[in-house]
């Protein structure tokens, strides 16, 4: 499902609505979005913490049991006690391994929704804005973000709970041990944290330099013959050499900051072990037992050092990469979206072969009698040699109209809605949409998250609950909303039927501020009563215009005007008019004889011309 904001776009606003504050790609904006994402998934974080407690328990028992095995067992001549303590340590390792295994499933429940959001953003940008970088973002950057996010969560969680278990164990053995181990550990972590920001900036600078070099080489390789003919080899070598030097400088700067990570690891992970050995005589003189000293060394070398090593190398590399990728994805999304100006729209005409009728910016309609949509000589074909699906197609639709589009498969119904929504570009003609559009396709998309998050996709911010509930009631979503547990209940797309996903998509479109709604067989999985309710809800939107690609003749009868797509015999008019003039419509209508539900329609003008055929018209 795709929604479009207003068509006139400028740069400069942070969120496409003139809102002030950090841009989406700004670190503050990323942190804010991350906090909101985590707050909405506090239950997943709670499960993650509970399973990680087993890992902390394993860390605690490994050092503590070793100390007791020596002090109360082997050194005291009690071999049985020593073996029992070692057995307890072995059981703790098994419990910790089980907890770690369960953690992977919980991490997936945290990471996959984040990936879904990124995929939604990238696909939306590619579809709405024809962004050429969307494919790279979808196939590479999103997957990098997903993998690195999982790695960051795993290493950060492991360090926190391992460090907690080790520090509690040191305190339990002898508080003096903390005075030796804790200061260098904190110093190492602080040093590492101080390098994260500069490291991320150097990582991004290196990627920028690498992309600039690749772009320069790509341009040079495609024009080698011209470069040689013009004698521009030295000029090209100088330009490429500058970019190569810039990438070298960026790589060296990145390497220099990487050295700081090694220093943090030495200070926080290796220095505590050295200090324990140097202070061993003093510790033994002050009541620390030999077993406690060995247990402390086990905590440092077997728990803290590996955990810090994973944190430094995992978070230092993956964390910097994750920050850069997320920032780039959000900045690209912002740049692709631009700032949507309110109250105006621009028609589109960016043909692939000719530009004979460029579209121009138009003011919004002055009132209810304004024009919602105008198409003039619109021509579209799939491919340069393809037969036009639409050929010199004209359509004028007033604000507040309800148009049903019917016809056999392959006559251009979905193509027409895709052109209006901006998903396709006509080869010829002018298309003007006086406002934003929202398109609901046959296969509705629902992403992992809460129901409210799904319903608010086309809104710039959170939607108040009363408005959500009103939209749900209007389209018939209330029973499903109640069954799921309310608007803030989580939604699992795989557990929903096709009809339930369509209801969610309809409510989402109903909440959209777009005045023009396009329903492309968006109710095909609903029963006739539910379909009628949803269409009446859209037709009743104040100032709203509705175009329905109908798959039931009852849907056409509810519309004020009907467009029959039939190639050269395309026609439009009211139900009664088409029964008299359109053989195809008479065949589609069959014996359906229920009185029409909609009063006399507003005036509409539409034409479709094929070579050698007279244009039908309606009004």
Quick one: 535 and 403 in the same domain?
yes
**Whole-number pLDDT of residue 225:** 65
Q: Is residue 49 part of a domain?
A: yes
Average per-residue pLDDT for the chain: 76
Question: Counting beta carbons within 10 angstroms of the beta carbon of residue 227, is it exposed (0 to 12), middle (13 to 18) or buried (19 or more)?
Answer: middle
* Same domain? 115 vs 251: yes
Same-domain pairing of 306 and 163: yes
pTM over 0.85: no
Is the same domain home to 56 and 145? yes
What pLDDT is attached to residue 495?
A: 86
- Indicate which CATH number applies to the domain containing 601: 3.40.50.300
Shared domain for 300 and 415, answered yes or no, is no
What's the average model confidence in pLDDT over 171-179?
Answer: 92
CA 343-348-353 angle, 5° bins: 170
Residue with tokens 């990469």: 321
What percent helix, strand, coil does the chain show, rounded to 5?
Answer: 60, 10, 30
Give per-residue pLDDT as tens, 152-165: 788 888 888 989 99
Pairing of strands 402-406, 561-564: parallel
Domain housing 559: 392-435+515-619
Q: Rounded to an integer, what distance in angstroms lies between the CA atom of residue 250 and that of residue 263?
A: 21
Q: Mean per-residue pLDDT for 368-391?
A: 80
- Three-state DSSP class for 84? helix
**Span 12-33, pLDDT tens digits:** 333 333 333 444 444 555 667 7
DSSP codes, 544-567: -EEEEE-SSHHHHHHSSEEEE--G
Give the pLDDT of residue 173.
92
Residue 289 and residue 405 in one domain = no
Give pLDDT tens digits for 66-92: 899 998 888 888 989 989 998 988 888
pLDDT for position 612:
37
Element (H, E) at 437: strand 437-440
Phi, psi (degrees; rounded to nearest 5) at 387: -70, 130
Task: State residue 179's pLDDT score.
Answer: 92
Q: What per-residue confidence (pLDDT) applies to 544?
A: 82
> Is 351 within a domain?
no
- Identify the band that residue 479 occupies on the pLDDT scale cut at 50, 70 and 90: very high
φ, ψ of residue 409 to 5 degrees: the values are: -65, 140
Q: Based on the domain organization, do 335 and 411 belong to the same domain?
A: no
Confidence at residue 39, expressed as pLDDT on a 0 to 100 scale: 80
Give the CATH number for residue 46.
1.20.1560.10
pLDDT for residue 124 is more than 80: no
Quickly state the pLDDT bin for 6 (edges 50, 70, 90). Answer: very low
Judging by beta carbons within 10 Å of its beta carbon (0-12, 13-18, 19+), is residue 31 exposed, middle or buried? exposed
**pLDDT value of position 223:** 67
**469 assigned to some structural domain:** no
pLDDT, tens digit, for every residue of 192-213? 888 877 877 787 787 778 777 8
Is the same domain home to 101 and 231?
yes
296 lies in the same domain as 401: no
176 plus 90 within the same structural domain? yes
Helix (H) or strand (E) holding 165: helix 142-173
Residue 239 scores a pLDDT above 70: yes
DSSP H helices in 266-319 = 271-278, 280-285, 290-298, 305-310
pLDDT in tens, 270-283: 999 999 999 999 99
In terms of phi and psi (left: phi > 0; alpha: psi -120 to 50; beta: otherwise), the region of 412 is: left
Question: Over 90: is that where the pLDDT of 297 sits?
Answer: yes
- Among 305, 339, 373, the domain-final residue is 339
Co-location of 314 and 396 in the same domain: no
Which carries the bigger pLDDT value, residue 72 or residue 358? 72
Domain count, the chain: 2
Give per-residue burial for 558-584: e unless 16+ CB within 10 Å, then b. bbbbbbbbbbebbbbbbbeebeebbeb
Nearest-angstrom CA–CA distance, 260 and 265:
9
pLDDT of 281: 93
- How are beta strands 402-406 and 545-549 bridged, if at all? parallel
Q: How sure is the predictor about 607, in pLDDT bands with cuts at 50, 70 and 90?
A: very low
pLDDT at 40 over 70: yes
Q: Report if residue 538 sits inside a domain.
A: yes
Same-domain status, 232 and 307: yes
Above 80 in pLDDT, residue 122?
no
| pLDDT: which is higher, 217 or 341 | 217
* Residue 215 binned pLDDT confidence (cut-offs 50, 70, 90): confident
Q: What is the pLDDT of residues 508-525, one digit of tens each?
A: 988 888 888 999 888 888
């Amino acid at each position: 499902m795709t929604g479009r904001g207003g068509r006139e776009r400028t740069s400069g606003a942070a969120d496409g609505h003139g809102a002030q504050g950090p841009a989406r790609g700004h670190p503050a904006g990323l942190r804010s979005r991350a906090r909101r994402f985590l707050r909405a998934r506090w239950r997943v974080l709670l499960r993650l913490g509970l399973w990680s407690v087993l890992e902390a328990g394993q860390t605690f028992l490994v050092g503590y049991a070793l100390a007791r095995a020596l002090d109360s067992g082997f050194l005291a001549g009690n071999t049985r006690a020593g073996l029992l303590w070692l057995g307890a340590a072995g059981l703790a390792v098994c419990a910790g391994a089980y907890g770690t295994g369960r953690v992977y499933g919980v991490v997936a429940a945290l990471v996959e929704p984040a990936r879904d959001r990124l995929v939604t953003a990238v696909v939306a940008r590619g579809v709405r804005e024809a962004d050429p970088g969307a494919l790279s973002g979808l196939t590479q950057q999103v997957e990098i973000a997903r993998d690195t996010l999982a790695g960051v969560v795993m290493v950060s969680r492991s360090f926190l709970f391992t460090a907690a278990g080790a520090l509690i164990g040191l305190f339990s053995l002898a508080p003096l041990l903390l005075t030796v181990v804790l200061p260098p550990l904190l110093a190492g972590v602080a040093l590492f944290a101080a390098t994260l920001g500069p490291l991320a900036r150097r990582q991004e600078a290196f990627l920028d330099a690498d992309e600039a070099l690749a772009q320069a080489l790509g341009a040079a390789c495609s024009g080698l013959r011209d470069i040689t003919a013009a004698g521009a080899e030295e000029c090209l070598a100088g330009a490429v050499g500058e970019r190569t030097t810039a990438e070298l400088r960026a790589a060296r700067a990145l390497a220099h900051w990487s050295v700081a990570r090694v220093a943090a690891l030495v200070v926080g992970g290796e220095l505590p072990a050295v200090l324990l050995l140097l202070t061993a005589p003093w510790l033994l003189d002050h009541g620390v037992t030999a077993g406690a000293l060995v247990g402390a060394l086990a905590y440092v070398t077997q728990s803290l050092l590996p955990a810090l090593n994973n944190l430094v190398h995992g978070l230092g590399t993956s964390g910097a990469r994750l920050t850069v990728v997320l920032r780039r994805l959000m900045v690209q999304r912002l740049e692709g979206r631009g700032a949507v100006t309110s109250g105006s729209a621009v028609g589109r005409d960016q043909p692939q072969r000719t530009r004979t009728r460029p579209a121009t910016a138009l003011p919004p309609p002055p009132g209810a009698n304004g024009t919602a949509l105008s198409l003039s000589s619109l021509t579209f074909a799939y491919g340069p040699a393809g037969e036009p699906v639409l050929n010199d197609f004209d359509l004028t639709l007033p604000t507040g109209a309800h148009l049903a589009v019917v016809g056999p498969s392959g006559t251009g119904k979905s193509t027409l809605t895709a052109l209006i929504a901006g998903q396709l570009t006509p080869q010829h003609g002018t298309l003007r949409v006086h406002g934003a559009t929202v398109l609901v396709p046959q296969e509705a998309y629902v992403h992992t998250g809460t129901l409210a998050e799904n319903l608010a996709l086309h809104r710039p911010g959170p939607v108040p609950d009363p408005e959500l509930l009103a939209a749900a009631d209007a389209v018939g979503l209330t029973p499903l909303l109640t069954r799921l547990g309310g608007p803030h209940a989580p939604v699992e797309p795989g557990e929903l039927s096709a009809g339930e996903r369509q209801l969610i998509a309809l409510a989402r479109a109903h909440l959209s501020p777009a005045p023009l709604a396009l329903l492309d067989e968006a109710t095909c999985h609903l029963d006739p009563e539910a379909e009628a309710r949803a269409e009446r809800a859209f037709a009743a939107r104040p100032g709203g215009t509705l175009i329905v690609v109908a798959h039931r003749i009852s849907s056409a009868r509810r519309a004020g005007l009907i467009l029959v797509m039939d190639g050269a015999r395309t026609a439009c008019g009211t139900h009664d008019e088409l029964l008299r003039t359109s053989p195809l419509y008479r065949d589609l209508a069959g014996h359906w004889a229920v009185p029409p539900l909609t009063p006399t329609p507003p005036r509409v003008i539409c034409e479709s011309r094929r070579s050698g055929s007279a244009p039908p018209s309606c009004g």
